[in-house]
Amino acid sequence: MSNDHQDDNPPSLKPILDQNACDFSASGNLHIDGLVQERLQTLGPTSVLFYRKPLEFDHGQGVWLFDTDGNRYLDAYNNVAVLGHAHPAVSDAVAAQLQKINSHSRYLNKAGHTYAQQLLATLSAGEDCGFLPDPRLVMTCTGSEANDLALRLAFLATGAQGVIVSEAAYHGNTWLVNQISPSSCRQLPDWVATFSLDALQQEDIPVHQAMAAIREEITRAINTLKSRGYGVAALIADSIFSSDGVFAHPTGFLTAAVDEVREAGGVFIADEVQPGFARTGEAFWGYLRHSQAQQPLQPDIISFGKPMGNGYPVAGLIAPDNLLQAMADKEGYFNTFAGSHAAVAAAQAVLTTIGMEGLQENARHTGAAFKQELITLADSCPLIRSVRGAGLFIGVDLVNAHGEPDAELTSQIINALREQGILIGAAGKHGSTLKIRPPLCFSQDNVALFISRFRHVLTTIHS
Ligand SMILES: Cc1ncc(COP(=O)(O)O)c(C=O)c1O
């Protein structure tokens, strides 16, 4: 079944793990160089490091990470620590749970039911979510496992095997989901077809134009699958298109893609690993941002992970009861660590704290102010081509003096920011988009610090 359809995976695509990677030549710091060598000799080459000069952190607090020399870094990158680093609500809940009982999910645990009820209640912001009849929560340990299971359910629901993904998507690391992750899998199999988001480069594109462009792309992908002898099982999309370089607007454009896929017999899997859990500010789930009164966006399966446990490994999916029943009739699903007492305690602490600390609201208003500051900066800096995003998930496209995307320049800026005490990463098919996704407790003062250091770095590089 595997095939080398490289037309679906353009040679210019910058693999996600190559972006902002470590330079293994000496960093000038004997302690760090020794650790890097030790790591290569113990953990081996698949264990990728960030930043040309890698960092060793000692502890974190809120939006800050502190290295072993006591230097402080503003974290504008790590979306897992959604509440902030080392948040006591999570560490206390997990510690208390570990001291009492932590076992697998084949024993009854009422706390898991309470959590599921509360999470399911977020699905449609209080409205009836008839599209997902009798939704149920299945817990996993990672987003990859959640997407792996989501694909198995999609294959079962449709009897088809073709999958459509965005052209620089990342959906995880199992054998199955690596194959639907063009940003990591160098040769896509022939049952995977991709679509481009290039038409959405500028956020002010009218929604009808965006929908028409996406519809055309999806139709092309469907026809590609059909020409290779496959039906359409699923469109899987992360609605903020994180690895593609952050495409958040115009809201509603995704509905056209889902309509096309449904007409071809496929289901829609909303991969909420990146935009879920209040990050985009406008809604708890990313897909809900695209859901309009006239044209609701209705996933068939929703997967999530990363922020769900603020660093404790907990992830999962929501699917309709009848689909899970169809799977259970065929084969069971058991995952040793998923839904353990400690995992539920971590997840519950995160969900409760997002509400108690008003983090969705903070993501909305601090994110809007942050984006505006970046747009203002772009007016005076030719290295910034565009700024896109929603809430505290912002992408900044960088270009070189010739107006071209430039992964090397982007990496230079990221590493210069690291020297200035700001942590940030890259995304996008050219590896030339800065991906900004700080903890949701990011403040206006944090924004001001980021902007002043960013301005300094851009001015130094541009002069
Ligand atoms: C959109 C998306 N889906 C799935 C995953 C996989 O999640 P995990 O690393 O928890 O397996 C990731 C991880 O980066 C992701 O960004």
Tell me the pLDDT tens digit for each residue of 339-395: 999 999 999 999 999 999 999 999 999 999 999 999 999 999 999 999 999 999 999
State the pLDDT confidence band at 27, using cuts at 50, 70 and 90: confident
Please indicate, yes or no, whether residues 49 and 102 belong to a single structural domain of this protein. Answer: no
Average pLDDT taken over every residue of the chain: 93
Domains in the chain, number: 2
Please indicate, yes or no, whether residues 364 and 299 belong to a single structural domain of this protein. Answer: no
Place of tokens 């496992």: 145
What pLDDT score was predicted for residue 131?
A: 63
244 lines ligand 1 (CB under 6 A): no
Please indicate, yes or no, whether residues 336 and 390 belong to a single structural domain of this protein. Answer: no
State the pLDDT confidence band at 13, using cuts at 50, 70 and 90: confident
272 domain-assigned = yes
Omega prior to 250 cis, within 30 of 0: yes
Whole-angstrom CA distances from 285 to 81, 151, 272, 429 are 17, 20, 7, 24
Amino acid type, 404? E
Q: Which residue range forms the structural domain that includes residue 56?
A: 21-87+359-462
Q: What are phi and psi of 44, to 5 degrees?
A: 85, 180
Q: Which residues contact 46 (CB under 8 A, 6 or more apart)?
A: none
Tell me the pLDDT tens digit for each residue of 217-253: 999 999 999 999 999 999 999 999 999 999 999 999 9
> CATH code at 288?
3.40.640.10
What pLDDT score was predicted for residue 11?
A: 57
Please indicate, yes or no, whether residues 76 and 94 belong to a single structural domain of this protein. Answer: no
Token readout for 213 is 């462009």
Pocket-testing residue among 144, 180, 184, 285, ligand 1, by greatest number of atoms within 8 A of Cβ? 144
Q: How many angstroms does the Cα of residue 403 sit away from the middle of ligand 1? A: 31
409 domain-assigned = yes
8 domain-assigned = no
Which atom in ligand 1 lies closest to the alpha carbon of residue 313? 10
5 domain-assigned = no
- Flag the least confident range among 45-59, 96-110, 344-358: 45-59
Q: How far is 8 from 317, CA to CA, in rounded Å?
A: 28
Q: How far is 193 from 232, CA to CA, in rounded Å?
A: 10
275 domain-assigned = yes
Please identify, among 356, 381, 412, the residue that sits at the C-terminal boundary of a domain.
Answer: 356
What pLDDT score was predicted for residue 9?
A: 57
Q: How far is 295 from 208, CA to CA, in rounded Å?
A: 12
Q: What are phi and psi of 124, to 5 degrees?
A: -120, 30
Q: Do 240 and 246 meet the contact criterion of CB atoms below 8 Å apart?
A: yes
439 domain-assigned = yes
Q: How far is 151 from 369, CA to CA, in rounded Å?
A: 38
Q: Which residues contact 426 (CB under 8 A, 6 or more apart)?
A: 19, 20, 407, 410, 411, 414, 432, 433, 434, 435
Q: How many angstroms does the Cα of residue 170 sit away from the middle of ligand 1? A: 7
Q: How many angstroms does the Cα of residue 144 sit away from the middle of ligand 1? A: 6
The distance between the two most distant Cα atoms of the chain, rounded to a whole number of Å, is 66
What pLDDT score was predicted for residue 340?
A: 97
Q: How many angstroms does the Cα of residue 288 sit away from the middle of ligand 1? A: 19
The pTM is what? Answer: 0.95
Q: What are phi and psi of 386, to 5 degrees?
A: -155, 160
State the pLDDT confidence band at 44, using cuts at 50, 70 and 90: confident
**Closest Cα to atom 13, ligand 1: which residue?**
172
Judge whether residue 260 has pLDDT over 60.
yes
Please indicate, yes or no, whether residues 314 and 336 belong to a single structural domain of this protein. Answer: yes
6 domain-assigned = no
Whole-angstrom CA distances from 122 to 277, 283, 293, 316, 364 are 10, 9, 17, 15, 17
273 lines ligand 1 (CB under 6 A): yes
Please indicate, yes or no, whether residues 123 and 237 belong to a single structural domain of this protein. Answer: yes
Nearest residue to 424 via CA among 395, 452, 403 = 395
4 domain-assigned = no
Helix (H, G, I), strand (E, B) or coil at 211: helix
- No. of H helices and E strands in the chain? 13, 15
Q: How far is 284 from 276, CA to CA, in rounded Å?
A: 6
Please indicate, yes or no, whether residues 80 and 204 belong to a single structural domain of this protein. Answer: no
Please identify, among 356, 382, 416, the residue that sits at the C-terminal boundary of a domain.
Answer: 356
Q: Rounded to the nearest 5 degrees, what angle is found at the Cα of 90, between the Cα atoms of 107 and 287? A: 85
242 lines ligand 1 (CB under 6 A): yes
DSSP secondary-structure letter at 279? Answer: T
Please indicate, yes or no, whether residues 46 and 176 belong to a single structural domain of this protein. Answer: no
Give the neighbor-by-neighbor strand order of the sheet with 433-436: 384-390, 393-398, 433-436, 425-427
Q: How far is 75 from 64, CA to CA, in rounded Å?
A: 6
Q: How far is 54 from 398, CA to CA, in rounded Å?
A: 23
Comparing 215 with 128, the larger pLDDT belongs to: 215
Q: How many angstroms does the Cα of residue 171 sit away from the middle of ligand 1? A: 5
Please indicate, yes or no, whether residues 166 and 228 belong to a single structural domain of this protein. Answer: yes
Which helix (DSSP H) or strand (DSSP E) does residue 371 occupy? helix 359-380
Please indicate, yes or no, whether residues 349 and 379 belong to a single structural domain of this protein. Answer: no
Please identify, among 325, 356, 387, the residue that sits at the C-terminal boundary of a domain.
Answer: 356
Judge whether residue 408 has pLDDT over 80.
yes
Token readout for 106 is 């084949």
Pairing of strands 232-237, 267-271: parallel
Tell me the pLDDT tens digit for each residue of 62-82: 999 999 999 999 999 999 999
Q: How far is 148 from 169, CA to CA, in rounded Å?
A: 15
Q: How far is 463 from 329, CA to CA, in rounded Å?
A: 66
> CATH code at 426?
3.90.1150.10
255 lines ligand 1 (CB under 6 A): no
What pLDDT score was predicted for residue 202?
A: 84
Give the neighbor-by-neighbor strand order of the sheet with 162-166: 135-140, 315-320, 301-304, 267-271, 232-237, 162-166, 192-195
181 lines ligand 1 (CB under 6 A): no
- For the chain, give the percent of residues with pLDDT over 70: 95
Q: How many angstroms does the Cα of residue 303 sit away from the middle of ligand 1? A: 10
271 lines ligand 1 (CB under 6 A): yes
Please indicate, yes or no, whether residues 194 and 291 belong to a single structural domain of this protein. Answer: yes
Please indicate, yes or no, whether residues 34 and 60 belong to a single structural domain of this protein. Answer: yes
